[in-house]
Amino acid sequence: MSEYTITYIKNENPKEKPQSDQLSFGKYFTDHMFIQDYNPERGWHNQRIVPYQPLTLDPAAIVFHYGQTVFEGLKAYRTKRNNIQLFRPDKNMERLNRSNDRLCIPQIDEEFAIDAIKHLVHIDQDWVPNAPGTSLYIRPFVISTEPYLGVSPSATYQFIVILSPVGAYYEAGINPVKIAVENQFVRAVKGGTGEAKTAGNYASSLKAQEIVSKEGYAQVLWLDGVEKKYIEEVGSMNVFFKINGEIVTPELNGSILEGVTRNSVIQMLNHWGLPVKESKITMEELYQHYQNGELEEAFGSGTAAVISPIGELAWEGKKMVINDSKTGPIAKRLYETLTGIQYGTEDDLFNWTTKVSYK
């Protein structure tokens, strides 16, 4: 049990809930939110669940000017038995604290944060949709609130959790996408903030995404920020390749964001006797393997899509069609197994799920 108590102010004007076929991603928000405040004297305090509402912040708040902020993303799933469960929230809270450390934000109590998330999801449980593939997206985040234009860490913060019912990522079944290898812009560099889930990384990724989406690609494949040789991530997902029977993913190098899904994919593949090689991999090498007919599968991994197969890669005027632009067997098996665990239809071999129950 944690030492904090959570005050609850009920929303007396609940919203109408959207139809499950209209959800898409991040468009609707539930009736309540969790907030706690930080100051140096009291640490994290005033834990509360209150009606979902706008924030009032000083226009000089550091978050608006220097982006001292971090976030997380995880989901609550409604099972066939009508339980609601979370998938590895401990990993998300661990990562939130690693991001906090990088951004000079004080650490949060991870166990308490999981309790607070469960409490909030329990209160808004009717917002967890039940159509196949739908879920309740959970967005914990920390903002720096001190009004000060000097460049230094804020003295004060708010940790907030909001919830958003989201639609099925694949409405017509898991489906490969076209990806453009990004040669001009970079997402992150070693020594920068790529390892942290922080706003600046996403702001800097928008331009590349805007350009390639006009050319008909779903996402970019990011190369390393120094030599633009080594493969790092795909959009905001980690990336895996099956080359000549072996599964490879870029090794964590200081600029790659370590996904909870990436970690789960590696554990699951190990369990299946398919060890994953974590190593540096260049675009040049990948292209060679492709030309030799050895590139068997490529897919991204992340909370939103779970597994996103790559059907086509465009690189320096060359087009690489992978597995006939069809979902490969490994991607399919991973997708079915991981989503099966999340929705409670597959054995939870590694104890990855935790029920939302709160008295």
Which residues make up the interface to ligand PLP (CB under 6 A)? Answer: 73, 197, 233, 236-238, 257, 259-262, 301-303
Q: Which is nearer to ligand PLP, 38 or 309 (CB)?
A: 309
Q: Which is nearer to ligand PLP, 78 or 197 (CB)?
A: 197
Q: Which is nearer to ligand PLP, 49 or 265 (CB)?
A: 265
For 51, phi and psi rounded to 5 degrees? -55, 140
Question: How far is the CA of 124 from the CAs of 32, 199, 232, 338, in angstroms?
Answer: 7, 27, 37, 25
Are the CB atoms for 184 and 142 separated by under 8 Å? no
The one-letter code for the residue type at 242 is K
Output the smallest distance, CB 94 to ligand PLP, in A. Answer: 11
Q: Which residue is nearest to ligand PLP (CB)?
A: 259
Q: How far apart are CA 111 and CA 163, in angstroms?
A: 19
Q: Which is nearer to ligand PLP, 195 or 297 (CB)?
A: 195
Output the smallest distance, CB 135 to ligand PLP, in A. Answer: 13
C-alpha closest to that of 93 among 38, 138, 63 = 138
Output the smallest distance, CB 101 to ligand PLP, in A. Answer: 17
Output the smallest distance, CB 190 to ligand PLP, in A. Answer: 15
How many degrees, rounded to 5, is the angle at CA 113 between CA 110 and CA 118? 130
Output the smallest distance, CB 301 to ligand PLP, in A. Answer: 6
Are the CB atoms for 250 and 265 separated by under 8 Å? no
Q: Which is nearer to ligand PLP, 61 or 108 (CB)?
A: 108
Tokens of 277: 């090689």
Q: How far apart are CA 171 and CA 173, in angstroms?
A: 6
Output the smallest distance, CB 12 to ligand PLP, in A. Answer: 35
Q: Which residue has the tokens 């903030």?
A: 193
Q: Which is nearer to ligand PLP, 209 or 261 (CB)?
A: 261
Output the smallest distance, CB 260 to ligand PLP, in A. Answer: 3
For 197, phi and psi rounded to 5 degrees? -90, 85
Q: How far apart are CA 177 and CA 325, in angstroms?
A: 8
Q: Which is nearer to ligand PLP, 260 or 331 (CB)?
A: 260
Are the CB atoms for 140 and 117 separated by under 8 Å? yes
